[in-house]
Structure 1
């Protein structure tokens, strides 16, 4: 199973991000959506699980949950916008991957057998950080990768 992971769009859904995500079977949005129309556009590609971030304070995005758990390909994914707000013990809960955003810095690390994945930011460029989306392959476990988008 191939899962697309996106975060920190801040109201900007780049055509390059849409193109990169085509063909995934599910999309996880780790918050700071900025505009509910982004989720509608992503749903045209695949089902979406999304949470709110710190900029999602009004409108439909404010109605999104602060955290969520979804089972995909037999694996549990826990979404939280800032990993610093993690409010569960992922290993004890049987979570395979914690998906977060907020920092705009892509990162994949394994702690105590749990993969922690931040796909970086696909929205407006922040500082000199790259614009990125992520992918998760679910087979005999979970494997995450980051794709830098070439944007004008």
Structure 2
């Protein structure tokens, strides 16, 4: 199963459309996961044109999105439990806030966003993954999103590109 992972798209504030490298991957994805800060319901609807979409709200999302999405999701895919959360809040680092959101639950992977910083780390059998931002790289050298392939294992990687065209 091929999953495209995105976060912090901030459309239309930071971009008017999805970048071509992301579109190419979404066209062949089995699932798209968005870890928050979409900004508007229109972004959710546009992503849905590419296939199945799941996601969570972030700290700058519209009230309309809050009526459609939760702030935290637990998704079961091919026997793996994947937690999805934006990761915003007070205290702790973004990754630690994301881990805290699923404290006491057995998850195989936690997908989060908020920082716009790509992150990929395995910790005692737990995959922690932040795709970065496909449209708002902030202080990062390149824009990014993630690909997760699920078969007998979960394999994640980042896709980097220099501009959001």
Question: 1:130 and 2:130 equivalent?
Answer: no
> Which residue of the partner structure matches residue 102 of structure 2?
88
Compute the displacement of 1:144 (Å): 0.5
Unaligned 5+ runs, structure 1: none
> Which residue of the partner structure matches residue 99 of structure 1?
111
| SS at 2:24 equivalent | helix
One of 61, 66, 69 as aligned partner of 1:62: 66
> Which residue of the partner structure matches residue 5 of structure 2?
5
Residue pair 1:133, 1:149 contacting (<8 A) in 2 also: no
Compute the displacement of 1:50 (Å): 1.0
Question: 1:140 and 2:152 equivalent?
Answer: yes
What do you get for the CA RMSD once the two structures are aligned? Answer: 1.6
Task: Count matched residues.
Answer: 149
Unaligned 5+ runs, structure 2: 88-94
| SS at 1:38 equivalent | helix
> Which residue of the partner structure matches residue 91 of structure 2?
none
Compute the displacement of 1:70 (Å): 0.8
